Amino acid sequence: MSLVGPRPSVPWEAQPFPPEAEKRFGVRPGMTGLWQVSGRSTLDYRTALTIDVHYAETKSLWLDLRILARTALIIFDRSLTR
């Protein structure tokens, strides 16, 4: 597990994923990720998968640093999660 990446999925949870979501398994899972800082529980299942696939396709050090910074902001400023 890394700091940034898609959240890990248990096998029963990943079973109904569409084929295009397979790309999310090509990167190491993380403790925080793009969908967590993009709306988290306000996003539907399909949107969360799309964001995870986008992360897997565009993964970079700069993107990881932006996600980590945004995660810190959200932790310390709860108003960002509303």
Q: What does pLDDT average to in each consecutive run of 10 residues of the chain (82 residues)?
A: 89 82 89 91 87 95 97 80 54
- pLDDT computed for residue 56 by the predictor: 95
Asked if 35 and 43 touch (Cβ cutoff 8 Å), the reply is yes
CA distances from 16 to 10, 11, 45, 62 (A): 11, 10, 11, 31
Range of the domain at 60: 2-81
For residues 39 and 70, what is the distance between their CA atoms, to the nearest angstrom? 12
- Exposed, middle or buried, 67 (CB in 10 Å: 0-12/13-18/19+)? buried
For residues 63 and 20, what is the distance between their CA atoms, to the nearest angstrom? 21
The domain total for the chain is 1
- pLDDT computed for residue 77 by the predictor: 79
- pLDDT computed for residue 74 by the predictor: 86
